[in-house]
Every structure is written in structure tokens, then in C-alpha cells.
Amino acid sequence: MVNAINYHHFMYFWLTVREGSIQAASRVLRLAHPTVSVQIKQLEESLGYALFDRSRRKLELTEAGKLAFRYADEIFSLGQEFLEALEGQPEGRPIRLNVGTSDVMPKLIVRTLLEPALRLDTPVRLSCSEDRFERLLGGLGTHQLDLVLADAPCPPGSGVKAFNHLLGECGVTFFAARELAPKIRKGFPGSLDGAPFLRPASDSALGRGVVQWCENKQLRPKTVGEFDDSALMKAFGQHGLGIFPLPSVTETDVKRQYGAQVVGRTEEIRARFYAISPERRLKNEAVIAICSAARAEVFS
């Protein structure tokens, strides 16, 4: 007799059938193939029924599997309807907004982009998490996240049903501490050649853009450090350990908060920012506020 269903396992089964294979479901969930396979097996053991006919090469459901999928499809579809119904919840009740931010996103930009949601007449309860881009896309696929903020669009073939909304783009500004800035400002960008340099991570869009720009200009700055965390990069730069590049939209805040000075700017490197959602047409009031303000105010 089954006492309870493990709904995590049930969801893995449902995604496997919906996506057509365990491998495809694993990509959506961002989990290893054996992990999903073992947990489906545990679901079958707890139910006492085989859900897949493993005597065949192609993924086929048993009669019990077909019955399980019908119920799973209804359960998880109703769950999504419930989330969508909450968007029309009674006035005064907070809107839940679960946002994932790519770990290479500058914190100053994340704060600027999310702030309009907190200025709505309807209160918003914001939950913000930071992770690798690939894992965040998995959170969109399983409806754990309403929105992902990133410096790159969701790539084709990711296995996640997601839509890219370009928030805006800008050039790049190079900063340095007060004692270093005058030496670099004169003769920029040639003065970067051999200068101490703090570089964004090479797996970020900004990091790749800066490297390519330096190569095109035949500049070879002396890389002192490479950073996933832009806040840490700014902290190093604040203490005069190197020049550091950031999207120009952060210029005012960087100068005010870190006492850094501008040594040069370029429009040849473009920093782009995206809101990635599970829907093409945005419906969440808070998400709409974020996208509208970004386009009309931040990147106008």
C-alpha cells in the first residue's frame, strides 16, 4: 500500500515523459542522467508498479505509466494555473517574485533593475538568488523562478522553454583608483598596454568582450586578477590594484560608492542585459515593471 507520493520523483517522471527521454529531462532539470533515472526507479518501487516498459529500446509507458502520466499532467498543470491565478490575487496581498541572477551580473545593475518592482502600489515580496546561468535556466524550466536576469540570452537548444527580453545595452567604462587614474587616463586606450588590470571572468559576456577588444587594439594589459564577482573586482580596484571595466550604466554609482575615477570609455564593447522568462508575453505585474523601467529609464 502506498502511503504517500514523493512529488519530486513524480515531477521527474512527468518531465521525462513530456520531454521524451530521461536525457532530455535531465537537461531541463540540470541534473545528471543517473540521478533522474534512480529517482524514477524509486518512484516505481514506492508505487509497486513499473511505469516504463524497459524491454523495449524506445521509451514506452506501461498501462500504470499512462495512468500516472495523466494524473501527473493534471497535477502539475493545475499547479501552474494556481501560480498564474495568484497574479490576480486580492489587492494588498504581496506579489511573490522569485528572481534568479547570473553570478556574473554586477550587483549595482541587479539592484537598479529590480528596484522598480518594489515601487509598485501593490506590495511585492522579492526572493532573489544567485547561481550559475545554466542552473538558473533549470529553475525556470521547473517553475521555481519567475525571471532570470543575465548578461546573455538563453541559448538555442538549451532544452528550456524560455523567452529572452532585451532590457537594454550600453558601452563599457574603465575605472581606477584616484592615485592610478591620472597615469592611465592620459593616452587611453594605449596606456592600458602593460598596466595592471582586473578582468571580469572569461565565461562572462563582458569578460569575453574586453579580451576581444584588447586583442583588436593590440593591447596587452598585465592581468592581476580575474573575477566572477564584480563587487570583489571593484573592491580590489578601489585599493589601487588595477584598472577595471564595467558597463557604463553603472558609472555614477561606481564613482560614488567606490571613489573610483573614469580613465576611459568605449562603445566598441557592448554590455547587454536580458530578462529571461518562461512566457513570451509578460503577465506578472512586477516583471512588467522591471522590463518597462529598464527600457524607459535605465538604458534609454
Q: How far is CA 159 from CA 28, 134, 188, 271, in A?
A: 6, 11, 44, 25
Concatenate the DSSP letters of all residues of 197-231 into one string: EEEE-TTSHHHHHHHHHHHHTT---EEEEEES-HH
Higher pLDDT, 144 or 261: 261
* Three-class DSSP category at 268: strand
Task: Please state the rounded mean pLDDT for residues 134-138.
Answer: 87
What percentage of the chain reaches a pLDDT higher than 70?
94
Determine the Cα–Cα distance for residues 197 and 226; give it in Å rounded to an integer: 9
Please check the confidence at residue 190 and state whether its pLDDT lies above 70: yes
Higher pLDDT, 29 or 274: 274
The Cα angle at residue 160 between residues 249 and 72, in degrees rounded to 5: 135
Mean pLDDT value across the chain: 88
Please check the confidence at residue 170 and state whether its pLDDT lies above 70: yes
Pairing mode, strands 222-227 and 196-200: parallel
- 226 forms beta bridges with 199
From 19-23, 138-142, 215-219, the region with the lowest mean pLDDT: 138-142
Determine the Cα–Cα distance for residues 242 and 186; give it in Å rounded to an integer: 16
Higher pLDDT, 257 or 89: 257
The alpha carbon of residue 285 and the mean position of all alpha carbons in its chain are separated, in whole angstroms, by 20
Residue-wise burial string across 226-237, b where 16 or more C-beta atoms lie within 10 A, e elsewhere? ebeebeebbebb
Task: Please state the rounded mean pLDDT for residues 78-100.
Answer: 70
Domains of the chain: 7-86 (1.10.10.10), 91-300 (3.40.190.290)
Half-sphere exposure of 90 (CA within 13 A, CB side): 1
Residue 225, pLDDT score:
95
Find the Cα–Cα–Cα–Cα dihedral 164, 167, 170, 173, rounded to 10°.
-100
- 147 forms beta bridges with 99
pLDDT tens-digit readout, 3-12: 678 888 999 9
Q: Are 298 and 273 in contact (CB under 8 A)?
A: no
Q: How far is CA 276 from CA 73, 129, 145, 162, in A?
A: 25, 15, 10, 6
28, burial (CB in 10 Å: exposed 0-12, middle 13-18, buried 19+): buried
Q: How far is CA 221 from CA 32, 195, 211, in A?
A: 40, 5, 10
pLDDT tens-digit readout, 208-250: 999 999 999 999 999 999 998 888 999 999 999 999 999 999 9
Residue 93, pLDDT score:
66
Task: Please state the rounded mean pLDDT for residues 195-207.
Answer: 93
**Which three three-digit cell numbers place residue 173?**
567604462
Highest mean pLDDT among 1-15, 110-124, 275-289 belongs to: 110-124
Highest mean pLDDT among 54-58, 73-77, 82-86, 211-215 belongs to: 211-215
Please check the confidence at residue 199 and state whether its pLDDT lies above 80: yes
Please check the confidence at residue 134 and state whether its pLDDT lies above 60: yes
Q: Which amino acid is at 177?
A: A
Residue 284, pLDDT score:
81
> How do the residues of the chain divide into helix, strand and coil, expressed in percent and rounded to 5?
45, 25, 30
Query: If pLDDT is split at 50, 70 and 90, which confidence band does 91 have?
Result: low
